[in-house]
């Protein structure tokens, strides 16, 4: 069986964009920038909102959960836009997508949707696989809109609330650790969610009958050194 490395699917911080996001975090209009970044990241922009959310929560810990709520709502709205791209404009973006670094992530997202449906979106809220590929794939595969929005709201809300809580509680050291280990934390959370789903199924709940298989290929998860 062939091996696929997910190194290229992990959060890639392009230096100029990362520095710009950090500058936005210190601006007096930072909440507006945070909302815009959160919306854009869910459908096309490469930088996750965590890079603004974390320092903003660090600077104003009393407003941390307010920032997390703003990030969540804007991210879900952007996810709905990504869903519409999948429904109405996928043919237009498909050639670019196939030639981009996101194509492997998109194929995994499609496979997860076929296997898990609702749970794929929920897990995507924590996964280091770009959320935007899940929103577009949901539209392409015509996932019912209400479950998509609900799973996005829960998954993204949990992720950003966790970031806000860690920043408010841990301060500068936690921000440094989050940026360094974000992919490892993300995959550990995914594993925890999957275990929770399995336990839920075993207890008689309704969920997909099997975990996703990536086309019969082995997935090698690698974290940054």
pLDDT tens track for 49-96: 888 888 888 878 888 999 999 999 999 999 999 999 988 988 888 888
Please give the structure tokens belonging to residue 61.
């810990």
Percentages (nearest 5) of helix, strand, coil residues in the chain: 70, 5, 25
Full-model pTM: 0.65
Bigger pLDDT: 194 vs 104: 104
- Give the whole-number percent of the chain exceeding pLDDT 70: 65
> pLDDT, tens digit, for every residue of 124-142?
777 767 788 888 888 888 8
Strands 3-5 and 218-220: parallel
Taking the C-alpha atoms of residue 176 and residue 167, their distance in angstroms, rounded to an integer, is: 10
Domain map of the chain by residue range? 31-216
């Amino acid at each position: 069986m062939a091996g696929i490395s997910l190194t290229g699917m992990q959060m890639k911080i392009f230096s100029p964009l990362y520095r710009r996001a950090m500058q936005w975090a210190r601006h007096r209009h930072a909440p507006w920038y945070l909302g815009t970044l959160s919306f854009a990241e869910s459908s096309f922009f490469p930088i996750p909102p965590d890079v603004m959310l974390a320092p903003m929560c660090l600077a104003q810990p009393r407003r941390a959960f307010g920032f997390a709520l703003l990030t969540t709502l804007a991210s879900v709205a952007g996810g709905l836009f990504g869903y519409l791209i999948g429904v109405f404009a996928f043919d237009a973006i498909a050639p670019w997508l196939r030639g981009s670094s996101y194509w492997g992530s998109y194929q995994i997202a499609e496979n997860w949707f076929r296997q898990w449906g609702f749970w794929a979106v929920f897990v995507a809220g924590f996964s280091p696989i770009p959320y935007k590929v899940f929103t577009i794939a949901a539209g392409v595969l015509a996932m019912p809109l209400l479950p998509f929005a609900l799973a996005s709201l829960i998954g993204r809300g949990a992720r950003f609330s966790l970031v806000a809580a860690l920043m408010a509680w841990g301060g500068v050291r936690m921000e440094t650790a989050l940026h360094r280990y974000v992919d490892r934390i993300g995959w550990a959370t995914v594993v925890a969610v999957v275990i929770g789903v399995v336990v839920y199924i075993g207890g008689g709940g309704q969920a997909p009958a099997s975990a996703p298989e990536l086309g019969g290929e082995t997935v090698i998860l690698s974290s940054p050194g």
